[in-house]
Amino acid sequence: MFTHDYFEPHQVNSFVYCKRAWYYQNRLKFFIDSSDIEIGRYIHQTHDFPRSNCKEIYLVSHKLKIKGMCDYLKKESGLYIPIELKKGKSNSGQPFKNDVMQLMCYVLLLEEHFEVKYPYAYIHYFGSTERCTVQITPFFRSDIKRIMKQIKSFKIHSRIPKRKNKKLCPPSCSYFEFCWII
């Protein structure tokens, strides 16, 4: 079965962070790499995150039309718990919503694959050396499904999302200048 029309968890992260940046990357195939993106790639490739008792597995859900590989799976209490690695800092000790929704994609993939419900997962922020435990709640489950429907709608209708208020857009966004000239 072809999976070229499936989306990946990092695309969910991008969509929640900024729908317009997601549109540039995933509909227009227009990529602008920033130094933050390059640093994030470097950390993923070279970090010394404890690898003992960790696994990697690429998963595909034909039902959900998502595919991807979590950064790490750590065996705890008989489950392979997903761990998502992030370059930056947490949000004052709490994970950012876009990171949680990316993690939720991995949770859904793992639940379908292993046929088990996950109670929690982790996001590790290198910038603050914090590991945030994310409790897998009914709210997060419904929120990720709502977001996935929105993404599918944007893919089908190919409409450009509205800009955020300029004051809310971080100047560090790779698309900041481009976004405000279109």
pLDDT digits (tens, 9 = 90+) for 81-101: 999 999 889 999 999 999 999
Residue 97's pLDDT is 97
What topology is assigned to 9-179 in CATH? Lambda Exonuclease; Chain A (3.90.320)
Dist CA 144 CA 61 (whole Å): 15
Average confidence score pLDDT of the chain: 85
Residue 33's pLDDT is 66
Helix, strand, coil fractions of the chain, as percent rounded to 5: 40, 20, 40
Residue 99's pLDDT is 97
Residue 27's pLDDT is 80
More confident position, 136 or 151: 136
Q: Name the residue with tokens 């999976």.
A: 3
**Which stretches within the chain are classed as H helix?**
9-17, 19-26, 35-46, 97-114, 138-157, 176-179
Residue 161's pLDDT is 80
Mean pLDDT of 164-173: 72
Mean pLDDT of 13-38: 79
Residue 61's pLDDT is 94
**Amino acid (one-letter) located at 71:** D
Residue 138's pLDDT is 97
Q: Where are the domains of the chain?
A: 9-179
- Integer angstrom CA distances of residue 41 from 13, 71, 80: 15, 12, 24
Dist CA 74 CA 3 (whole Å): 27
Residues of the chain with pLDDT > 90, as a percent, come to 46
User: For the segment 29-70, what is each residue's pLDDT rounded down to a tens digit?
Assistant: 777 666 666 666 666 666 655 555 566 789 999 999 999 998
Residue 102's pLDDT is 97
Closest C-alpha among 179, 181, 182 to residue 168: 179
Residue 8's pLDDT is 93
